[in-house]
Structure 1
Amino acid sequence: MTLRIAVGPANSDDVKVVQTLTQGFAQHKSQVRLRPIQTDGATASANALAEGKVDLAIVRGDLDVPKNAQAVATLRKNVVVLWSVPAKGKKKGAKITKIAQLAGHRIGVVGRTQANVNLLKVILQQYGVDPAKVEIVQFPANEVAEAIKAQKADVYLAAGPVNSKITADAIAASIKEGGTPTFLAIDSADAIAQNHPVYEASEIPAGTYGGSPARPEDEVKTISFAHHIVARKGVSETTIAAFTRQLFAVRQQLVTEFPLAAKIETPDTDKDAVIPVHPGAAAFVDGEEKTFLDKYSDYIWWGLMALSAMGSIGAWFAGYLKKDERDSSNHQRERLLDMIAAARKCETTEELDQMQTEADDILRDTLRCYDHGAIEEGALTAFNIALDQFHAAVADRKTVLMSLPHNLQRAGAQFRAAGNA
């Protein structure tokens, strides 16, 4: 089974993680394999999933998530880092230490995605700063250092993992230009998370970006959001359970050579989760993956019941069709029992021989009925008992008749014939 997974943009950490997972699955000859489909970014990946072009996608949690998307894993969590850079020369002004001071300033957003701009606006609005009263400029990651050197912004915003190289390089560029960056705390992180469930309150640990003194010197409160691995709703529970199991198995093996794999976490399985969890992933997380019998026991049970019912109906119908044969066999058995009594009263051996011939015919018909299934083994056993008694009666009567003189046998037969007349 090969699953198509949408991920982008090119050369991003997300693409590197997916490529590493793809190679890991192939090396371990896993049941589920991956085929990366590269896109322009998280929005394009989400659209590909919504249109059914892929089975999995890497999406950003604070963007519109497709309605047919269900969470499989959290690929990584990203923190928002806001810092101000001291102005130099003619641009030198009051030091910015709080978000509430940002009105009238230029804010540089690292990365070209509109999602980071939207994120900045959420933060500004929480602090009563009208986004229209700030100038927002976006810079590609590879142009941030030059932008800082040219003092193209007063404050910068970056979003990525806590140990993001892009963020670390941008802060290092700020220091290189002779200033000490001031980290702006998002003290209202809890309120933002409450109003916008896609975000969570988080912290940037002291010393995250190195230096002496440490940068930042103290823990800084901020908000975070996640990148998720989501599956199309139509992908089977069994397949996603297998994929999730493989994902977390290979993660442990890849951490040493690819540290970003350590960021992968299990999805939120709560019923009120922002992105509902896929049943297959939930089964893995909760330790409730179903075995073959668990998944199909109901079908097997109903199948057996149906077969049993069909068998019963078939047996009844077959029995109904063989009713005449069964009735005939019963009559012949009754006839054989009558012949036992008659044999004991026979006056000649000729009569006994005639009865023996009739018994042979009855035996032949009875065996044919048994072969056709018209009578069961129990009925055949009862017939055999009657037949044995008949043979015994014939043998006993022949012994008696053979012991009488021949003229007495003839006289007895004539007397009986006259009586019948």
Structure 2
Amino acid sequence: MSILNKLNKLIITIVFLSLLAVTSFFAWNYFKQDTTKVLVIGAGSKKGEAYKFAQAIAEVTTKHFPEVHITIRETAGSKENMELLESGQIDLATVQADIPAVPSARIISNLYPDMFQLIVRKDANINSFHDLKGKKMALPSKGGGQWVSFWFTANHYGIYESDIENIALSSSAAVDAIINGEIDAIFKVRAPRNQTISNIINSCPSKLIPINQAAAMKLKQPSLDIGEIPAGAYNGSPLIPEKNLATIAVNRLLIAHKNADKDAVKMITQILFERRLELLKTTSLAGFISQPDWGAGTFIPLHEGAQSFYNRENPSFFVQNADFVALILSVLLMLGSTLLGLRKKISGNKKNLADKHTKELVTIMDGINEKKDINSPFLNKQKSVLQTMLSEVITELDKDQMTAEGFQFFSFT
């Protein structure tokens, strides 16, 4: 195969691959944008703040990114959400940061801080967490996130299951029970100004009990933090609580399955941080949204979709390596120019070879025309020259040293 043919094939291959790459890129982007991404989020009870927050996320996300559709699933809470996420039944979940994460969990964002809140009847003679021994309580669902949080705190204070008379009730029945005086206390892990807690406080003589030693408990569970319920959080007159109340705080997180669509997760993260005012119209807790700090409380890896959003202001690979990329492009342009120049030179050489033989042929013809005395020896000599020339031309054509166009012109001559 001649050098020219090799160059032709190389140039055609490069052009074909470039066109294929560009076409594939635009086709991929078109079909990617045209595909609706459906995600399911586990959000706890319909009456909870997390469920309301999930509704806000779903509505605002679909408004700005119609290709993303979020379905909200009511669940028993953080622990069930983790289990559903691991089994692949849901794609997103709201969870307490102190609940052990499953291997497939990836964090997107901190949503808001929950507070450990212990509400007791004023006639129950309970002034500290220690005083719960021997009292009647309706604890959160066994195995759930609030159950885990309560017993972590209780065990720290030296209180165990045998020390409390636990009456198994649903969440709504437990509220009625404390209001009616059937139980002495109730425990919730909820944001300040939670509506359920507010209803209890405003429906019966009750108060909030401080939960101290948060710093000590954080040593055991790094996802916990020192919290405080502001004075007047539940009532301004009279003040409830009467003063800032020490407690334990734990972040409510938005997490995703590690295989959740990267682009959809990036869009959701964008909504959380760039459309916060719209989220605030549905839930005031949107004001607490923050970027997760890996190693400062939560050790759940960041989802790559969220990571892509958080790194949006970082220079891209091409920007970071602009000089190197420019050098590579320059080298490629020089190489392409050299290949085209070489191709032109080789084509020119082949044309020159055809022109040379054509001129020789014309010279022979002119010599014959000018010869007045044409004899047999002269004709034999010219015949021999022509045979030699034809042999050279055929050899050069066979070796690809002469173009087909040049041979046709020579033949015509």
Give TM-score, length-normalised by structure 1. Answer: 0.65
Find the counterpart in structure 1 of residue 85 from structure 2. 49
Give the secondary structure class of the aligned counterpart of 1:67: coil
For residues 401 and 242 of structure 2, what CA distance do their matches in structure 1 show? 94
Unaligned runs of 5+ in 1: 380-386, 388-421
How big is each residue's C-alpha offset from its partner over 1:327-356, in whole Å with a ceiling of 9 and x where there is no partner?
Answer: 98776666678889x88xx9774369x99x
In the other structure, the counterpart of 2:266 is 241
Counterpart among 87, 101, 105 of residue 65 in structure 1: 101
Q: Which residue of 2 aligns with 1:137?
A: 167
Aligned partner letter, 2:209: L
Give the aligned residue type for 1:221. A
CA 1:348–1:262: 2 relative to 1, 3 Å: closer
| Residue 414 (structure 1) aligns with | none
Counterpart position of 2:232: 207
| Corresponding residue for residue 55 of structure 2 | 19
Letter in 1 for 2:228: E
Task: For 1:80, give the aligned amino acid.
Answer: F
Which residue of the partner structure matches residue 350 of structure 1?
Answer: 370
Distance 1:289 1:136, change over 3 A: farther
Counterpart residue number, 1:85:
121
Question: Closer, same or farther in 2 for the Cα pair 1:223/1:286, shift >3 Å?
Answer: farther
Match of 2:150 in 1: 120
Residue aligned with 1:63, SS: coil
Structure 1 contact 30–246 (Cα < 8 Å) conserved: no
Q: Which residue of 2 aligns with 1:6?
A: 41
Tell whether 2:195 aligns with 1:165.
yes
For the residues of structure 2 that align with 1:252 and 1:228, how far apart are their CA atoms? 19
AA partner of residue 217 (structure 1): E
Structure 2 CA distance for aligned equivalents of residues 239 and 27 of structure 1: 14
The structure-2 alpha-carbon separation of the partners of 1:335 and 1:271, relative to structure 1 and needing over 3 Å to count, comes to: farther
Confirm or deny: 8 A CA contact 1:144 1:170 kept in the other structure: no
Paired with 2:48 and 2:138, the residues of 1 have a C-alpha distance of 20
Aligned residues: 343
- Check whether the contact 2:353–2:402 (CA below 8 A) recurs between aligned residues: no
After superposition, the Cα gap between the structure-2 partners of 1:348 and 1:149, relative to the gap in structure 1 and judged at 3 Å, is closer
1:9-59 residue CA offsets vs partner (Å, 9 max, x unmatched) = 344333333233323333335443323344443333322221223322223
**Shift, 1:220, TM fit:** 1.1
Q: Are the structure 2 counterparts of residues 126 and 156 from structure 1 closer, same or farther at C-alpha, using a change threshold of 3 Å?
A: same
Residue 218 of structure 2: aligned partner: 193
Aligned with residue 109 of structure 1, among 139, 150, 155: 139
1:225 corresponds in structure 2 to: 250
Aligned-residue CA RMSD (Å): 4.8
For 1:150 and 1:282, locate their aligned partners in 2 and report how far apart those are by CA, in whole Å.
50
**1:112–1:215 CA distance, 2 compared to 1 (3 A):** farther
Change (3 A) 1:237 1:133: same
After TM superposition, list the pairs within 5 Å mapping 1:229-308 onto structure 2.
Answer: 229-256=254-281, 258-260=282-284, 262-263=286-287, 265-270=289-294, 273-288=298-313
Deviation at 1:132, TM superposition (A): 2.6
How far, CA to CA, are the matches of 1:190 and 1:29 in structure 2?
42
- Counterpart Cα distance in 1 of 2:229 and 2:60: 31
With over 3 angstroms needed to count, the CA separation of the structure-2 counterparts of 1:115 and 1:52, relative to structure 1, is closer
Pair 1:153-2:183 in alignment: yes
Q: Is the 8 A contact 1:9 1:42 kept in 2?
A: no
Letter in 2 for 1:62: D
Query: Is the radius of gyration larger for structure 1 or structure 2?
Result: 1
Question: Structure 1's 373 and 201: CA in aligned 2 closer, same or farther, altered over 3 A?
Answer: farther
Residue 184 (structure 1) aligns with: 209
Letter of the structure 2 residue corresponding to residue 222 of structure 1: T
2-structure distance, mates of 1:187, 1:224: 11
- Alpha-carbon displacement from aligned partner over 1:135-165 (angstroms, at most 9, x marks no partner): 2335434234431244333333222111110
CA separation of 1:138 and 1:326: change in aligned 2, threshold 3 A: same
Structure 2 residue ranges without an equivalent (≥5): 1-35, 373-378
| Cα offset, 1:188, TM superposition | 0.6
Overall identity of the aligned pairs, in %: 20
Deviation at 1:125, TM superposition (A): 1.9
Conserved? CA contact 1:60–1:228, under 8 Å: yes
* Conserved? CA contact 1:200–1:224, under 8 Å: yes
* Cα distance between partner residues in 2 of 1:81 and 1:281: 31
2:350–2:401 contact (8 Å) kept in structure 1: no
Q: What secondary structure sits across from 2:50 in the alignment?
A: helix
C-alpha distance 350-261 of structure 1, shift in aligned 2 (>3 A): farther
Distance 2:90 2:318 in 1: 30
Q: Which amino acid aligns with 2:310?
A: V
Q: 1:238 to 1:20 in 2, by over 3 A?
A: closer
